[in-house]
């Protein structure tokens, strides 16, 4: 087996194919952290154990003859956020804690947008995410602003104006 590990390669240096593969590998890691076996997850996703090892590196640990997921990782990935004063934007996240936080944030944003209840977002009011370049991004929690951003996303012509 070839012992290549690209889990520590920065997102910006990955090829388009490797970026797509990293997203699949992170899905494997997420499922394993929820108790799934590596062999089961890779089979469902049509991937191999070697694929997972190549893309997850030190995030996979061999224990008692089985692969288990580490509790945390520092694998970079691109994620979208609703950012205060910027709207819907994309940043490079550097670890599993921030990926989990953003996943929870998006779930709560959808609940707030569906229910009209702004207090759902209270726990995210002062949350700042630091991206791979060290830049800080404050999560948007104002419900009126989130409705505006959400409406603009439904209207693609809004984004066309800003392409030039």
At residue 152 the predicted structure's pLDDT band, cuts being 50, 70 and 90, is confident
Quick one: 54 and 84 in the same domain? no
Q: What confidence tens digit (pLDDT) does each residue in 97-122 have?
A: 999 999 999 999 999 999 999 999 99
Q: What confidence tens digit (pLDDT) does each residue in 66-109 have?
A: 999 999 999 999 999 999 888 899 999 999 999 999 999 999 99
Quick one: 37 and 16 in the same domain? yes
What are the angstrom distances between the C-alpha of 1 and each of 54, 67, 71, 110? 10, 16, 25, 44
Structure token pair of residue 31 = 């499922």
Print the domain residue range for 133. 77-161
Classify residue 138: in a domain, yes or no. yes
Q: How many domains does the chain have?
A: 2
At residue 153 the predicted structure's pLDDT band, cuts being 50, 70 and 90, is confident
Burial letters 75-108, b for 16+ CB under 10 A, else e: bbbbbebbbeeebeeebebbbbebbebbeebeeb
Structure token pair of residue 84 = 């205060």
């Amino acid at each position: 087996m070839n012992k290549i590990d690209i889990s520590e390669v920065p997102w910006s240096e990955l090829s388009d194919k490797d970026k797509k593969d990293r997203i699949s590998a992170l899905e494997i890691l997420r499922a394993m952290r929820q108790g799934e076996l590596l062999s089961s997850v890779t089979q469902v996703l049509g991937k191999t154990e070697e694929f997972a090892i190549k893309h997850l590196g030190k995030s996979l640990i061999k224990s008692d003859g089985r692969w288990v997921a580490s509790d945390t990782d520092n694998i970079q990935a691109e994620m979208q956020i609703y950012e205060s004063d910027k709207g819907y934007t994309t940043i490079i996240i550097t670890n599993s804690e921030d990926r989990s936080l953003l996943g929870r944030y998006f779930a709560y944003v959808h609940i707030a947008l569906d229910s009209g209840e702004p207090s759902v977002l209270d726990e995210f009011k002062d949350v700042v995410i630091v991206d791979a370049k060290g830049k800080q991004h404050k999560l948007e929690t104002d419900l009126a602003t989130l409705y505006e951003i959400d409406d603009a996303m439904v209207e693609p012509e809004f984004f066309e104006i800003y392409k030039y």
